[in-house]
């Protein structure tokens, strides 16, 4: 142990003294109905688990509860469609109750569309490393606005499309 963190040793043959590190990856099984566009926050429910070592992701509510205190790599990809009418997007990791824990991205949709050959599709992808205390709850939220309330974005589903993943990098003790 160094500086309060458990050090994992990796050996030349590829083995490790580390226990199975908690990690998960989940994705949307199908494209959502129109979900936001009037500046309301929306939590995509990534309802299909690719893997969940440590059983810390809940595919029914889209929330993950950190099993241990430590540094985690958190990643998310959102493929959005029907964005023609929107002016901005804002997506973030929340604390499980809607409060912003860390912003993943904010931007102007018109500027993004100007550099894309797909006028109706926007791909948002981000990864971050952050410290989570044991039992901390996180989820992904997205907000988009500036358009009309009846012309809202959709989050595209299917394997390899929109997903949410996290992995413990270093456990604190």
Q: What are the residues facing 119 on neighbouring strands?
A: none
Is the separation of the CB atoms in 120 and 81 below 8 Å?
yes
Full-model pTM = 0.79
DSSP state of 59: T
Confidence bin at 1 (pLDDT 50/70/90): very low
Higher pLDDT, 143 or 57: 57
Q: What is the 3-state secondary structure (H, E, C) of 132-147?
A: ECCCCEEEEEEEEECC
Is the separation of the CB atoms in 86 and 153 below 8 Å?
yes
Give all domains of the chain, ordered by start, each with its CATH number. 23-171 (2.60.120.40)
List, for residues 97-136, the tens digit of each pLDDT value: 667 788 877 766 665 555 555 556 777 888 889 999 999 9
Q: Give the model's pLDDT for residue 166.
A: 96
Confidence bin at 93 (pLDDT 50/70/90): confident
Mean of pLDDT values over 15-29: 81
- Whether the per-residue pLDDT at 42 is higher than 90: the answer is no
Alpha carbon dihedral 95, 100, 103, 109, in 10-degree steps, equals: 120
What's the CA gap between 105 and 101, in Å, rounded? 13
Containing H/E element for 125? strand 121-132
Q: Give the model's pLDDT for residue 40.
A: 73
């Amino acid at each position: 142990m160094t500086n309060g963190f458990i050090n994992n040793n990796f050996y030349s043959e590829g083995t490790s003294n580390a226990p199975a590190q908690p990690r998960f990856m989940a994705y949307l099984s199908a494209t959502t109905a129109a979900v936001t566009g009037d500046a309301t926050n929306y939590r995509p429910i990534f309802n299909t688990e690719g893997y969940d070592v440590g059983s810390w992701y809940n595919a029914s509510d889209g929330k993950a509860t950190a099993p241990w205190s430590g540094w985690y790599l958190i990643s998310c990809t959102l493929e959005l469609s029907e964005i023609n009418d929107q002016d901005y997007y804002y997506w973030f990791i929340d604390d499980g109750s809607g409060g912003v824990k860390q912003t993943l991205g904010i931007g102007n949709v018109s500027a993004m569309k100007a550099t894309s050959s797909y006028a109706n599709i926007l791909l948002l992808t981000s990864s971050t490393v952050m410290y989570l205390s044991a039992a901390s709850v996180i989820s992904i939220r997205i907000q988009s606005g500036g358009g009309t309330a009846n012309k809202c974005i959709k989050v595209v589903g299917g394997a390899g499309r929109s997903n949410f993943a996290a992995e413990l990098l270093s456990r604190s003790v």
